[in-house]
């Protein structure tokens, strides 16, 4: 499909059932494949960045500032699903971040754990805005101490999951 054909039929695509959702999926797929914008051949390979991240992680582990994380199997087996530009490489999330902090929800059966002034981020708070400025729920210091919860510093990336 040419650019001209695409734009000539854009209205039909957008009005089709699930059309906007399909367009979003297409744009995301093109972005992930590096096809959304022109690739600069002068860009350094992403593998160099991954090496720098790994070197920094090892230094922080030696200094006791972060814990050693579980090793995951290689992502090479996934290469058949998506071709990437030459300067890109595959990596798992755990290879890109320095510290993973898990935790647990304070018991909802203990009212002294809830209604305090410590924001409690959960899946209920995700997707309402680009940045999480406030939360629906709050816990007390007793709730923080009486559970496997962790206080996450402001400015950190939080991935909320429900197990």
- For 95-136, what is each residue's pLDDT tens digit? 787 777 888 899 999 999 999 999 998 888 887 777 888 899
Return the exposure string of 51-84: e unless at least 16 CB atoms fall within 10 Å of the residue's CB, then b: eeeeeebeeeeeeeebeeeeeeeeeeeeeeeeee
Tally of CB atoms within 10 A around 95: 15
pLDDT for residue 78 is more than 60: no
> pTM of this prediction?
0.53
DSSP state of 93: H
User: Cα–Cα distance between 11 and 21 in angstroms, integer?
Assistant: 14
Q: Which residue has the higher pLDDT, 18 or 72?
A: 18
Question: Tokens 């962790």 belong to which residue?
Answer: 150
């Amino acid at each position: 499909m040419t650019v001209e054909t695409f734009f000539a039929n854009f209205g039909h695509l957008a009005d089709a059932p699930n059309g906007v959702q399909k367009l979003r999926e297409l744009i995301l797929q093109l972005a992930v494949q590096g096809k959304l914008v022109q690739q600069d051949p002068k860009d350094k390979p992403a593998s160099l960045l991954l090496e720098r991240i790994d070197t920094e992680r090892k230094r922080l582990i030696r200094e006791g500032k972060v814990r050693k994380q579980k090793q995951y199997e290689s992502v090479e087996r996934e290469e058949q699903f998506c071709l990437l530009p030459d300067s890109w490489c595959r990596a798992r999330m755990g290879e890109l971040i320095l510290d993973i902090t898990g935790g647990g929800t304070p018991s909802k059966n203990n009212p002294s754990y809830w209604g305090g002034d410590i924001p409690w981020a959960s899946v209920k708070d995700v997707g309402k805005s680009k940045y999480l400025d406030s939360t629906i729920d709050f816990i007390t210091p007793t709730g923080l101490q009486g559970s496997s919860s962790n206080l996450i510093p402001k400015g950190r990336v939080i991935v909320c999951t429900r197990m």
